[in-house]
A and B are shown apart, each in its own frame.
Chain A
Amino acid sequence: MGRNPLDKLADQMRTDWDRRVGHDYRFWMGDGHLDDAHMWKTGERDCATVLEGIPGGATATALEIGCGVGRLLKTASQHFGKVIGFDISRLAVDKARQLIGSNASIELVVGSGIDLQPVDSNSIDFVYSFAALACMPVPVIASYFNEIKRVLRPTGSARLQVYLGQELSVHESDTLHLRSFTPDNFLKAANVAGFTVLSCVKNDISDDGSAGLGISNCLITLRPNEQLSASPDDIAKALLPNGESKEVNPVALEAWMALNYAEALADDGHAQKARDAVDYVVAHCQSATIDTRDILDRVIAKSSAVVAPDSAEVTAVDPSVFENNLGVLRDKFPAVHARVLAARDSVPSTISSKMTKDGVVLFSATTCLDHPEKPRSAAEAWVRRSLIETRFNAAKHIVVTGFGAGYHVEALIEQAKVPVSCVEGDTALFVAALKARDVRQLLAGLHTLVVGSEVNATSMDAGTELLVRPQMAVLNPRFVEQAKSSVYSKRGLTELHPRIAVLGPFHGGTLPTAQYSMAALQRMGHKVRGLDVSGFNDGYMLFDGFLKQEPRRAVMRSQYIDVVSNTLLEAFSEKPIDILICMAQAPISAKALTELRSRGVITVLWFVEDYLRFTYWHQMAKFYDFVFTIQKGDCIDRIRAAGAGAVHYLPTACDPTFHAPLILSEEDKEKWGSPISFVGAGYHNRQQMFSTFSSYPFKIWGSEWPTGKPFDRMVQEESRRVKPEEYIKVFNATDVNLNLHSSSERDGVDPTGDFVNPRTFELASAGAFQLCDHRSLLSELFEVGKEIVTFTDLPDLKEKIAHYQAHPEERRAIAEAARIRALRDHTYERRYEEMLSIIYASKYEHLRQREHNSPWAEMIRRADGDTELKERCERACARGEEPALDGLIADIVTGQGKLTEVEQKLLFLHHIRSQVLRMKREEAGLNN
């Protein structure tokens, strides 16, 4: 059953405006004013225009549609006995409450966005709307017409600010572009809605760029007449006969506005605000047409780089300043003191200082580490703005990265109510700061100081929050990354509860890896959604039978992947996720990955393939925020160069709950066992090497093997693919398991082989003895000789087979050591701990914010006063239910004991919805 289109539009408006207000209410709702005082002033001005000629008085009640943060309300409340401000954004209304403070004349309502409930009919004297209606979808405007008619007293009036002129139709879900109507259509709409237009006055005060669009900013005054209001559909038709456009990209304008704002902020030296604006675009407005990375770099560079001081400007240094600073440093931070002494005479010439009215500022090459003109006041403002972030509300300790000349650290100590520490990666810069100005008081006030060395994670306890100085992020990104990792990696594992989806391939050897991954994540307590798309494989394979030409097949396979991808997108719309982990060859399109990223989902690829053999990463890497590979070196560099957000090494692993020692029946031992076995597909190098084994007691299990001589004696069951539950029996029933990594090019052992296959870990975890071909990365994972035995070529292999067949006790000892190591270091749990630590290091704030803003989090906060309801929300959230009523009542069962009051109330809501839907179906004739 689809939802009411009007409700969907309301949801869109609410989401959009909550997001914008959350970013910067003055920019999005107050014409970009840099301070509230200016905002109120323009509010007074606009309100005066709106109220011109409108009778007020102590008994009169006014209502504003789209009051935002209340810019006009304060002034309006002086004119009327009561003013009701309606806005769809809860954040805007909360902000309005905060900004306006106590005012008995003002009532603020978070509206549905489409009506004026719960305002009584015939109860309002004056309805107005300013800078709001033009951004609303036309069906919503039409609905408001109806509502205005309903709430206005017969003697009341309404004044609406709209744009008239040439018709500007935008996408119906667009809540930002200006809409404009022809004067004739607006008049018709007002008439069918039951209004008489009293006047239409051009509003020239606000410079909104409308003149350039061929439209005029107008204030229309309406009075209700005797006519009944037509339906919203008919009003909408009158207003815009051809309906809203389906074409305009609603995201582009928002991104464009935010990026221009960011650039203007950067030009004005408001680096952090500029960065916030860019972050906003990155988080919410990502689209194929906007490369935010470039713009981010440009904005950061603009906000950081200024002209470096020439030699005349460089300040003279008073040596006693440095010595005095050293004195405090020695007493409070002796380790840092020692480091500073060692570096005191090695400050490079690229570091300089300059005197401003506010004090000395430091430069590293062309980058000013402080504000180049007003270091003190700018630092105070930066700290003030930074501390507004909600994450600092509960912080017990704040660590700032970057010392600069210390102004922002001083401001932070002053403003933060918790201990403050500082980490500075560059000792020379710190020495320069100590020489430039007196920071004794600052040093004395610091909780911890780390200079020039790696940040120690152990000092970053659970209450620690990191504040990154933008200049530091530009100058020393690696240090900032390391600092973030220290603070957030481990903490993320315990504090974050992201919703993770694991997407496996249609078929092939990686399919079980996806299943092991999901199981491991579940054991780790994560909310995991397994996406088993293997059922789609039959359809995928059908193309081979229908189409002979490969290009045609490729086209259809691609379209098939699009269908699967769209299905996944729908699934994620129903049950949103935070992280998508795709295994190699996961069937998801670039378009779908882009869409998910635009929804704020972190995309991850665990590329458990040889990057030289499977090269689709060339095209796909850039659609992933993280790529994890089983190879190092060139592999990582090349995938990173292909555009992946971050690339890290992460070998495959084992699942000890599955890859375990088994007690086999005699029958199983007979069937699956052998003195020597191999499990795997018949790749070239394997065929080449094992063709010489026909005289050995050797069983080969797996697909794609020749079944003629000499393999007829070795290859089992006509070379069928063996299932994981079968090959684990082979491992257990075999004395010597051979593990030869595949190669389509080399004979025998590939001397350049680097990565380690899953079989290595699985054999180890099963307690099975294996002889593994030499791999360059193997010795990092197992101690060769003690935990694993390797071979380098055929004679070596045959010699070791003979040796270990003759020494079963050695086999047992090595297999046991391998098992201990595998269980300790190479389980999927260990791998996912590592993977998530890496993700959390850079995405902790994003994920936490997402969690904080998630529908469940909001519901849990709102349910705070009702213990049972709150617990029910928490349980539903933990179950991974959809954040909606259905999720909340999923575990309520009638007829199994007394229902609690909360349960009854929730069921009541559920039944109301069912009833109303049924009635609507009847009204729509669906049951006829």
Chain B
Amino acid sequence: MKKRYPHKSRVLLVNITRLGDMLQATPTIAGIKAENPGCHITVLVEKQFAEVCKIIPNIDEIVGIDLNFVCRSISREKDGVIDAYDYMTKFVDDLRSKDFDYCLNMSSSAYTALLLNLIGIKRNGGWTSDEEGYRVIETEWARLFATSVFHQNRQYNSLNLVDVFRCSADVDQHPQKLLINVEKHALEHCEKLVQDARFTNTGPLVAIQAGASQGKRQWNPGHFVRLIKILTEQHNARVVLTGAEKERNIIDPIVAGCASPNVVSVAGKTTVPQLAAMLSISKVLVTGDTGPMHISVAVGTPVISMFLASAYGFETGPYSAGNIVLQPVIGCGPCNPNKPCSKPDCHDTISPELVAYLAVARTQGEVRSVPATVADPRNVVVYNSVFDEYGFMDLVAINGTPVDPHTPYRVAYRKLWLDDLGGFDVPKPVAKTGLRVMDQGLDGLGRIQECATHGQQLMDVLVSLVKDDRSSVVSLKNVNEQISELDRKIEELGFTYGHFGALTRMFVFAKENLQGSDAVDLASQMKSIYGDLERRCQKFAVYYAGA
């Protein structure tokens, strides 16, 4: 794989706010350690996660930032702001003193970008900012990360963000799973909880995570009740409901609705290490796209995961082989994570019977196919998680051919990025024609490519004008205006032909990251960016033709 900074010795990994994100970084952390023996890895997390991070392997040092203190101080009248400022100054000074030579920040938040500019780490794998406060994304893989999570482009992406993340950090050798340590005393605690539950069934222990980070991503509690009844009454299963204390308003009614001695709730009764232990002794976890899903994968327990509403299985699906991902087929999904939904029809495309079927099947081994009669691919696609020959996670539909117009684009993009960014030797199908022929499904691509070609020509003109002392200001201005207009057009084409939005978004991010102030040098960088766009258009057409 192409690598930007192959050698690292003191690494700062910024992953401040979410435990799930931290877990998804574990293959990267392990990979950095494996490829850079002796490397010291520090992770920067919110203070409340610092304790939990101790059960994540390969981390040498955990630095906690107290966001709540900062917020409380800022909100406080009088000198609260100064308290926050002083805290932050000391925090920055402490981090500076650690003399990091590489930083990986995959949070797109403005504050982490500013923090990294303040710390002043020279080599970066992710987001940072420049001295004017503008966002800087140095590596192509990190730009792909940003491009892929841009809502318009999400459903054209099939690269799991765990892989994009590790590629941003130049990691090639990596475990094909997430990592977490299960503590002995936590395990004992959970075994006792199960023992104390006095289940009357003797079948598999099925864990169910009913809560989710957003209400619209949370399956109907009535479905959970039905699912549990099938599991406990027809399959001799023992069910443990996991969750946080604040999720008890969802979980308690489910327990009450089941009214079964074979259902127990441990919601609010487990710490994160204990939850990991509980999942490790379960045979399978039924869940949405949640933090516990990642923990389950990390402890080696397969998951049946429902990707409802804004959740998208290709993007953040369970990162190990042999997990089941259920993606509803619905025109509005995956929806925008920042928008509410008052009519979450996607919930009803997945039936409790299907989930029960998959959960039982998965307790007996990997599920490689599901009859369409059990799961109609017109309503829901059932995927099995696998790894491809390049070590990237993928999802394979196992209930027939999905009725999904995005699939050919997704396949083409996957190959394009593995080839163009990863440098992998991806087999190319024989292209039928050049781009001049308006292939079906490729409307707009030719226009983008023409713009890219024209952009390179304009850069040549610009360079010659800059180098020529006799050039008039008017002619320079004229070329600049043409370039601005062209760039605007490229961006507009990306919006008009949404399936090529990822190509143009990569172009926009690259343009935002031009470095330096020398006109000739900038023009040279810009020409190369137009060149990238043109080349990617060509490659995309080739891979699309074979998809």
Contacts and interface: CB of A to CB of B under 8 A. Distances in A.
A365 interface: no
Contacts of A114: 72
A112 B66 CA distance: 13
A193 B271 CA distance: 15
Interface stretch (B79-87, B361-369, B396-404, B447-455): B79-87
B488 interface: no
Interface string B436-478: 0000000000000000000000000000000000000000000
Contacts of A481: none
Contact of B82 (A118, A231, A863): A863
A927 interface: yes
B111 A896 contact: no
Contact of B76 (A7, A118, A897, A914): A7
A885 B69 contact: no
Interface in B178-197: none
A10 interface: yes
B63 interface: no
A899 B131 contact: yes
Interface in B102-147: 109-111, 114-115, 117-118, 131-134
A4 B75 contact: yes
Nearest to B18: A919
Interface centre among B88, B114, B271 (most CB of A within 10 A): B114
A863 B84 CA distance: 12
B133 A904 contact: yes
Contacts of B233: none
B245 A231 contact: yes
A718 interface: no
B74 A885 contact: yes
A645 B77 CA distance: 31
B269 interface: yes
Contact of A10 (B76, B89, B92, B114): B76
A616 interface: no
Interface stretch (A432-440, A601-609, A854-862): A854-862
Interface string A865-884: 00001000000000000011
B210 to A, nearest CB: 15
Interface residues of A, number: 54
Contacts of A859: 78-79, 81-82
A909 B134 contact: no
Contacts of B526: none
A898 interface: yes
Given A228-B269, A905-B92, A112 B69 contact: yes
The prevalent SS among residues of A at the interface is helix
Nearest to A229: B245
A869 B132 CA distance: 18
B85 A909 contact: yes
B513 interface: no
A894 B85 contact: no
A922 interface: yes
Contact of A919 (B17, B92, B111): B17
Contact of B132 (A4, A898, A912): A898
Nearest to B115: A908
B53 to A, nearest CB: 14
Interface stretch (B201-209, B213-221, B424-432): B213-221
Contacts of B88: 905, 908-909
A160 interface: no
B216 A928 contact: yes
Contacts of A914: 110-111
A915 B17 contact: yes
B343 interface: no
Given A908-B114, A928-B340, A858 B78 contact: yes
B214 A927 contact: yes
B114 A904 contact: yes
Contact of A855 (B74, B78, B216, B245): B78
Interface string A90-102: 0000000000000
B67 A231 contact: no
Nearest to A114: B72
Contacts of A863: 82, 85
Contacts of B1: none
Given A869-B85, A905-B92, A912-B111, A11 B77 contact: yes
A911 B118 contact: no
Contacts of A917: 71
Given A117-B66, A911-B111, A927 B340 contact: yes
Given A231-B246, A919-B17, A913 B71 contact: yes
Contacts of B246: 231, 923
Nearest to B129: A904
A557 to B, nearest CB: 36
Given A228-B271, A928-B341, A908 B132 contact: no
A912 B268 contact: no
Contacts of B75: 3-4, 7, 11, 913
Interface residues of B, number: 48
A908 B111 contact: yes
A884 B133 contact: no
B496 interface: no
Given A228-B268, A905-B89, A922 B81 contact: no
Contacts of A3: 75
A910 B133 CA distance: 13
A896 B84 CA distance: 26
Contact of A925 (B82, B131, B215): B215
A117 B70 contact: no
Interface string A1-25: 0011001001100110000000000
A231 B337 CA distance: 28
A152 B32 CA distance: 37
A312 interface: no
B68 interface: yes
Contacts of A922: 213-214
A909 B84 contact: yes
A884 B74 contact: yes
Given A7-B76, A11-B77, A895-B132, A915 B68 contact: no
Contacts of A792: none
Contact of B118 (A14, A231, A905): A905
B521 interface: no
B338 interface: yes
A117 B69 contact: yes
Given A231-B246, A888-B81, A912-B111, A904 B215 contact: no
Contacts of B92: 905
B252 interface: no
A862 B70 CA distance: 16
Contacts of A899: 131-133
A909 B81 contact: yes
A906 interface: yes
Nearest to A928: B215
Interface centre among B66, B81, B114, B117 (most CB of A within 10 A): B81
Given A112-B69, A916-B67, A896 B132 contact: yes
Interface centre among A11, A861, A898, A909 (most CB of B within 10 A): A909
B492 interface: no
Contact of A898 (B51, B82, B131): B131
Contacts of A895: 132-134
A907 interface: yes
A62 to B, nearest CB: 23
18 contacts: A7-B72, A7-B76, A10-B76, A114-B72, A228-B271, A858-B79, A863-B82, A885-B81, A894-B134, A898-B131, A904-B133, A909-B70, A913-B71, A913-B74, A922-B214, A923-B213, A928-B214, A928-B340
Q: Which 9 A-B pairs have the closest CB atoms?
A: A911-B111, A894-B133, A928-B215, A862-B82, A911-B110, A898-B131, A908-B114, A858-B78, A862-B79
Interface of B: 17, 51, 66-79, 81-82, 84-85, 88-89, 92, 109-111, 114-115, 117-118, 131-134, 213-216, 245-246, 268-269, 271, 337-341
Given A11-B77, A909-B84, 4 more contacts: A855-B79, A904-B118, A909-B85, A927-B340
